[in-house]
Amino acid sequence: MYWSGMFHVRVLKRVIMAKQWGQKAEELEISNKVAGLGLHKKPIESTDDDTADAANPAEASLLMKIIRQGLVESKLDIEIQRKDPNSPLYSVKTFEALHLKPNLLKGVYDMGFNAPSKIQETALPTLLADPPQNMIAQSQSGTGKTAAFVLAMLSRVDPSKNYPQVLCLSPTYELAIQTGEVAARMAKFCPEIKLKYAVRGEELPKGTKITDHILIGTPGKMLDWGVKFVMFDLTKIKVFVLDEADIMIDRQGHQDQCVKIHKRLPTTCQMMFFSATYTSAVMEFAEIIVPNPIIIRLLREEESLDNIKQYYVKCKSHEDKYRAICNIYGVITIGQAIIFCHTRKTASWLSEKMSRDGHSVAVLSGELTVEQRIAVLDRFRGGLEKVLITTNVLSRGIDIEQVTLVVNFDMPMDLDRKADCESYLHRIGRTGRFGKAGIAINLIDSQQAMEICLEIEAHFGKKIKLLDIEDAEEIEKIGA
C-alpha cells in the first residue's frame, strides 16, 4: 500500500499545484493536442524525419514532446536538433550563427566566451526563434545555463519602449545579484538596455512607474512591485524566466508568490524554466503550466559529474571530521573550498574552530542580512578567505571559478532524513564548473550518513570512493 499511497500523494500534489497556478491540467493533455493537430502519437523508435515533417514550430515542439514521452533522457532529443537545420531545434556551434545583435555578440566575446556550451548551443536557437517558444531546460550545474537565458532575455528587449518587458526570478538575493551581474556584463555594449534589481533593500517611492526593461529579482519583491504597488504592467511582459525552477515551483513560499505573478502574465509571454535538477513530479507539473514547452534535458551520460572526483571519509565524531579537513588541507593544494553543514550551529562551531587554528574562513548562513551575505561572498570571490562554510542556503547557482573542493561536513538529507540527491548535485556543482576539475569529499560519521552516501552513489551511478585520511600518499593522489 506504500506505493499506492505515494502515488495518490503525488497526484494530489499535482492537482493542488495545477489549481494554484490557475490551469486545467486536462486542457493540456498531450493526447488532446495530438488529436487537435491531426497527429498520431509516434512510436518510441521515431527517426529524425519525424521532426523534419513538422510544418511549423508549434508542431515541431509538440512532436518533440511526444517523442520525449517515450524517450526521456535518450539520445534522440539532442540528435534531432543537430541534424535538421530547418528545425527551430537546430543547434549551433558558434555565437555568430545565432545572429545576435552585434553589440550583444561583442559583449559575449568580451566575457571570454569563444563558443557556446552544450546547453547554450542547444537552447539558444529555440529561445531566439520567432515566434517565441517556451522552454523547460535542465542541465548540470556549471554548464552555462545563466548565460543561455540571459542572452535570450537581452535579445528580446525593445529598448525604445520604456517599461519592463522581461522578468527573471531567482530563489535568493545572492543569485539574483549574480544573474544581474552576468546580464550587465553581457550588455556592456548595449547601454540602451536598462536593468533593475527587484530584491530586498531596493526601495522605490509609492507611485513610481518603472521604466527599466529587465527586472531581475526574488519573487516577493517582484510581487510587491508588480501586483501590490502596480509599478509596472505585468500584461506587457514578453519573457518570464524562472531560474532554479524546480524549487521555485516546489517550495511553498516561492511557489505562492510565483503563482500570483505567473497568473497575470499574458498568454503570449515566452516562458523559460531552467534548473540543474527536476524531480519527475516537478517536471510533469512544469509541463502543465508552461504551454507547449520545448523540453531540453542534457543526457545523463553528458552530465558532467565525471569531472568531479567524489570521495567519502569515515569519521567517528565532529572532532574527527574536523581532523579530516585539516589533514586534507595539510596535504593537497586547494584553490578555495566550500564546506556544507546541516545547521547554522555546526557551521559556526566549525568556523570558530578553524579560525582558532589559523585558517582564513568565512561563514555564510541564513541569519546574516542580505548585505552581510553579499559582503561575505565578495570577499570569498576576491580570494580573501580560502574556505567558505555554509548551509544549503548556498547550494545553488553561486558561481566561483576557483572553488576546487566541496566538503559535505554533513550529508544532505530531506525532512525524512533520507538522501537529498538534488541538493547533493547542486552542492558539489559549486566545483568542477564549466568542465574544470573538482573534488567532492563526504564526511561520514554514522550508519545513516553512510546509507545516504550509498543512496546518492546509486542514484547518480557514479562511484564515491573511500579515502583513507591517515594515508598522506593517497590524499596526495586525489589532488593530482
Ligand X SMILES: Nc1ncnc2c1ncn2[C@@H]1O[C@H](COP(=O)(O)OP(=O)(O)OP(=O)(O)O)[C@@H](O)[C@H]1O
Chain centroid, CA 112 distance in Å: 22
Question: Does residue 145 belong to the site contacting ligand X (CB under 6 A)?
Answer: yes
Stretch that binds ligand X, among 145-153, 256-264, 306-314, 384-392 (CB under 6 A): 145-153
Pick the closer one to ligand X by CB: 175 or 467: 175
The window from 139-147, 226-234, 297-305, 353-361 that contacts ligand X (CB under 6 A) reads 139-147
Answer for which of 147, 176, 286, 341 binds ligand X (CB under 6 A) is 147
Three-class secondary structure of residue 299 per DSSP: coil
**Near ligand X in 272-291, by CB under 6 A:** 276
What is the nearest approach in angstroms of ligand X to the Cβ of residue 474?
29
What single-letter amino acid sits at 49? D
Answer yes or no: are the C-beta atoms of 154 and 187 closer than 8 Å. Answer: yes
**Footprint of ligand X on 397-416 (CB under 6 A):** 397, 399, 401
Choose, by CB under 6 A, the member of 429, 440, 443, 456 that binds ligand X.
Answer: 429
Q: Which of 57, 88, 132, 144 binds ligand X (CB under 6 A)?
A: 144
**Given 61, 146, 346, 365, the residue binding ligand X (CB under 6 A):** 146
Q: What share of the chain is helix, strand, coil (3-state, %, to 5)?
A: 50, 15, 40
Query: What minimum distance in Å lies between the beta carbon of 14 and ligand X?
Result: 25
Closer residue to ligand X (CB): 60 or 276: 276
Separation between Cα atoms, residue 127 and residue 156, nearest integer Å: 10
Is residue 179 involved in binding ligand X (CB under 6 A)? no
The three-class DSSP label of residue 245 is helix
According to CB under 6 A, which residues from 363 to 402 bind ligand X? 397, 399, 401
Would you tell me how many other CB atoms lie within 10 Å of the CB of residue 98?
20
> Rounded to an integer, what distance in angstroms lies between the CA atom of residue 411 and that of residue 213?
42
Q: Which of 125, 142, 217, 293 binds ligand X (CB under 6 A)?
A: 142
Q: If we measure between CA atoms, which residue out of 313, 331, 332 comes closest to residue 479?
A: 332
With respect to ligand X, which residue has the nearer C-beta, 266 or 435? 435
Of the candidate residues 23, 134, 143, 336, the single one contacting ligand X (CB under 6 A): 143
Stretch that binds ligand X, among 35-43, 140-148, 334-342, 403-411 (CB under 6 A): 140-148
Taking the complex as a whole, the smallest distance from the CB of residue 243 to ligand X amounts, in Å, to 7
Report the residue number, 229 or 434, with the smaller CB distance to ligand X: 434
Nearer to ligand X, 141 or 270 (CB): 141
* Distance from C-alpha of 282 to C-alpha of 280, rounded to nearest angstrom: 5
Residue 141 is a binding residue for ligand X (CB under 6 A) = yes
One-letter identity of residue 33 = K
Which residue reads 531545434 in cell numbers? 89
CA nearest neighbour of 135 among 77, 182, 76, 48: 77
Query: In the chain, count of helices (H) and strands (E)?
Result: 19, 14
As to burial, measured by CB atoms within 10 angstroms (0-12 exposed, 13-18 middle, 19+ buried), residue 410 is: buried
Which residue from 433, 443, 444, 449 is in contact with ligand X, where contact means CB under 6 A? 433
CA 239, 244, 246, 251 torsion-angle sign: negative
Q: Is 125 in the site for ligand X (CB under 6 A)?
A: no
Using CB under 6 A as the binding criterion, the count of chain residues that bind ligand X stands at 18
* Range in contact with ligand X (rule: CB under 6 A) among 61-69, 113-121, 213-221, 311-319: 113-121
Pairing of strands 387-390, 403-408: unpaired
113 in contact with ligand X (CB under 6 A): yes
CA distance 76 to 74: 5
Helix (H, G, I), strand (E, B) or coil at 135: strand
Contact of 310 with 463, CB cutoff 8 Å: yes
- Name the minimum Å distance from CB 11 to ligand X: 29
- Determine, following the binding rule CB under 6 A, whether residue 427 of this chain makes contact with ligand X: no
CA-CA distance, 21 to 289, in Å (whole number)? 7
- Mark the segment that binds ligand X (CB under 6 A) among 34-42, 114-122, 192-200, 329-337: 114-122
Toward ligand X, which CB reaches closer, 174 or 445? 174
- Within 195-254, the residues that bind ligand X by CB under 6 A are none
DSSP 8-state code for residue 136:
E
CA atoms in the 13 A half-sphere facing the CB of 468: 5
Nearer to ligand X, 246 or 385 (CB): 246
C-alpha grid cell, residue 171: 530563489
Per CB under 6 A, residues contacting ligand X are 113, 116-117, 120, 141-147, 276, 397, 399, 401, 429, 433-434
